[in-house]
């Protein structure tokens, strides 16, 4: 394999690992911080790091109020909602299951693009792929509801699924907007996410007091740096290096890291149906994707 191919593959795996670490670190962090407060912390503490990186390596492309509106809606759909719903959901389900559920995002993107993008006409093939993918989602999520109805696992699964659904809606939103520099847009959306979540967190959670132990600080730093800011930067580099279509493979490699990390650090074991469902999601999502994928802005 040529050296450039090894480098591209290494970058893809590293990006997937950064995304895959997020469910584990969120599951650990939410033991110390309430979900709304944790979501607000991720957005607020990630913002300055992204601003620094955007200033150093980002390219200009901010088109006034058009970009402001893009960032306002995108910040809610891609940052505020996923950060909070993942934190809520991962209180009740294994972190590896959270990774599998988050990997359903391409299917939701495919379905929402068919519904809301006029230049993405619905074809028979697309309809079949959406149906197959949603069947895979049902297999992943189904065991949480068998004999459990809307118990803790069921509620956790529903909240976790809101994250990829909201993210997919963000993808469709970006497709309808003029392009903006990805890193600069990510930074702006983190700002929107922080402003949107902090007041609600203060209202619901009140003043949160956490003993600043080495464990708590270490988990929070790892979550912000390794599983929040790093994926955005790595994905930016990956898309520039290999293109958006190949970069989309990250979402199918990521669950492997989530499952492995959950098994190693939390002794998790997931049902076979969840892996069968993921296989259906991957099978349905691979192939010609709607053009929303070409302007992906990623945050986990």
pLDDT in tens, 265-291: 999 999 898 999 999 999 998 755 444
Specify if 27 maps to a domain. yes
Q: Is 224 contained in some domain?
A: yes
Tokens of 246: 């190949």
pLDDT, the chain, mean: 89
d(CA 69, CA 181): 14
Contacts of 197 (CB under 8 A, 6+ apart): 36, 39, 40, 43, 80, 83, 84
> What is Dmax (Cα atoms) for the chain?
56
Split at pLDDT 50, 70, 90, the class of 2 is: low
Residue 24 has pLDDT above 70, yes or no: yes
HEC states along the chain?
CCHHHHHHHHHHHHHHHHHHHHHHHHHHHCCCCCHHHHHHHHHHHHHHHHHHHHHHHCCCCCCHHHHHHHHHHHHHHHHHHHHHHHHHHCCCCCHHHHHHHHCCHHHHHHHHHHHHCCCCCCCHHHHHHHHHHHHHHHHHHHHHCCCCCCCHHHHHHHHHHHHHHHHHHHHHHHHCCCCCCHHHHHHHHHHHHHHHHHHHHHHHHCCCCCCCCHHHHHHHHHHHHHHHHHHHHHHHHHHHHHCHHHHCCHHHHHHHHHHHHHHHHHCCCCCHHHHHHHHHHHHHHCCCCCHHHHHCCCCC
Confidence of residue 295 (pLDDT cuts 50, 70, 90): very low
What phi and psi values does residue 244 have, to the nearest 5 degrees? -65, -35
Residue 300 lies in a domain: no
Q: Is the pTM of this model over 0.75?
A: yes
Residue 275: predicted pLDDT: 93
Which carries the bigger pLDDT value, residue 55 or residue 233?
Answer: 233
Domain containing 14 equals: 3-295
d(CA 179, CA 189): 14
Quick check: is 254 in a domain?
A: yes
- Burial label, 212 (beta-carbon count in 10 A; 0-12, 13-18, 19+): exposed
Domain count, the chain: 1
Model confidence over 174-218: pLDDT tens digits?
988 888 888 889 999 999 999 999 999 999 999 888 988 999 999
Measured between alpha carbons, how far is residue 63 from residues 52, 53, 58, 95, 184 in Å? 20, 20, 15, 39, 11
Of 61-70, 252-261, 265-274, minimum mean pLDDT range: 61-70
pLDDT at 151: 78
Q: What is the mean pLDDT of residues 62-88?
A: 94
Report residue 294's pLDDT band, with 50, 70 and 90 as the boundaries: very low
């Amino acid at each position: 394999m040529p050296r450039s191919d090894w480098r591209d593959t290494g970058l893809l795996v590293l990006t997937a690992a950064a995304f895959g670490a997020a469910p584990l670190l969120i599951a650990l962090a939410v033991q110390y911080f309430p979900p709304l407060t944790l979501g607000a912390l991720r957005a607020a503490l990630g913002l300055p790091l992204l601003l620094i990186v955007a200033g150093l390596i980002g390219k200009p492309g901010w088109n006034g109020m058009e970009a402001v509106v893009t960032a306002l809606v995108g910040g809610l759909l891609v940052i505020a909602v996923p950060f909070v719903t993942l934190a809520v959901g991962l209180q009740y389900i294994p972190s590896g299951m959270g990774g599998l559920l988050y990997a359903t995002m391409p299917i939701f993107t495919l379905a929402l693009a068919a519904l809301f993008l006029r230049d993405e006409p619905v074809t028979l093939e697309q309809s079949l792929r959406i149906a197959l993918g949603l069947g895979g989602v049902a297999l992943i999520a189904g065991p949480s509801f068998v004999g459990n109805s809307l118990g803790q696992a069921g509620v956790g699964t529903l909240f976790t699924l809101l994250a990829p659904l909201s993210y997919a809606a963000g993808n469709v939103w970006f497709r309808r907007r003029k392009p903006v520099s990805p890193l600069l847009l990510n930074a702006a959306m983190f700002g929107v996410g922080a402003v949107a979540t902090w007041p609600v967190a203060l209202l619901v959670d009140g003043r949160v007091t956490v003993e600043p132990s080495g464990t708590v600080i270490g988990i929070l730093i790892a979550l912000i740096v390794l599983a929040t800011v790093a994926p955005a930067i790595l994905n930016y580099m990956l898309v520039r290096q290999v293109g958006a279509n190949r970069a989309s493979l990250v979402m199918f490699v990521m669950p492997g890291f989530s499952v492995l990390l959950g098994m190693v650090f939390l002794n998790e074991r997931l049902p076979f149906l969840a892996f069968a469902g993921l296989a259906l999601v991957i099978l349905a999502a691979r192939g010609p994707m709607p053009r929303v994928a070409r302007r992906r802005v990623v945050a986990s």
